[in-house]
Amino acid sequence: MSMHPPELEPFAPPPAPPVAAGLDSSLLYQEVFEAVGTGFCVIEVLFDEARAVDFVHCRVNAAFGRITGLADVIGRRATEVLPGLDEYWFRVFGRVVGEGMPVQFERYLPQLGRWYSVEAVRLGPAAARRVAVLFFDISRRKQIETDLAESEARFSALADGLPMPVWVL
């Protein structure tokens, strides 16, 4: 017989179901990253002294090619794949390596004519210089935002030019 009233009985969650025999978690993660619509790559950041100057694509998922239009990037430097790439990318990924803190940002990539939402996180110790990057194309959203801002500016210019105030309900 328990000494605790029923509402104070210690809660013990049911045991977790056993993992399917032979299911390798690394294979599971690989399947997920290949199946998702989000672009994914692992890069190795290259430094000149303490300054990030480039990165090499070590691994990409299938969505990488669909989202960027780029193929055969494994083992190639970013500056080779995207000549004239903005130094911003190197600085951000270099900071992820050095500080170990994940980052999120949105950036236009003129070489591809697309906007991307990007998340980057360091993989392993800083000495490995590896970063996992998740990204997706937000060009359509950015175009809608631009169209809306232009529409609001036209409306404001029209309203400012009226001789009498007009109330829109």
- What pLDDT shows up at residue 5? 57
Longest Cα pair distance anywhere in the chain, in angstroms?
Answer: 86
The residue with tokens 């970063």 is 131
User: Which residue ranges form the domains of the chain, and what is each CATH number?
Assistant: 28-160 (3.30.450.20)
SS3 74: strand
Report the distance separating Cα 44 and Cα 58, nearest Å: 7
pLDDT tens-digit readout, 59-85: 999 999 999 999 999 999 999 999 999
Query: Nearest to residue 132, comparing CAs of 64, 80, 35, 37?
Result: 64
Q: Using the predicted structure, report yes or no on whether residue 23 has a pLDDT greater than 70.
A: no
pLDDT tens-digit readout, 105-150: 999 999 999 999 999 999 999 999 999 999 999 989 888 888 888 8
Contacts of 26 (CB under 8 A, 6+ apart): none
pLDDT band at 13, cuts 50/70/90?
low
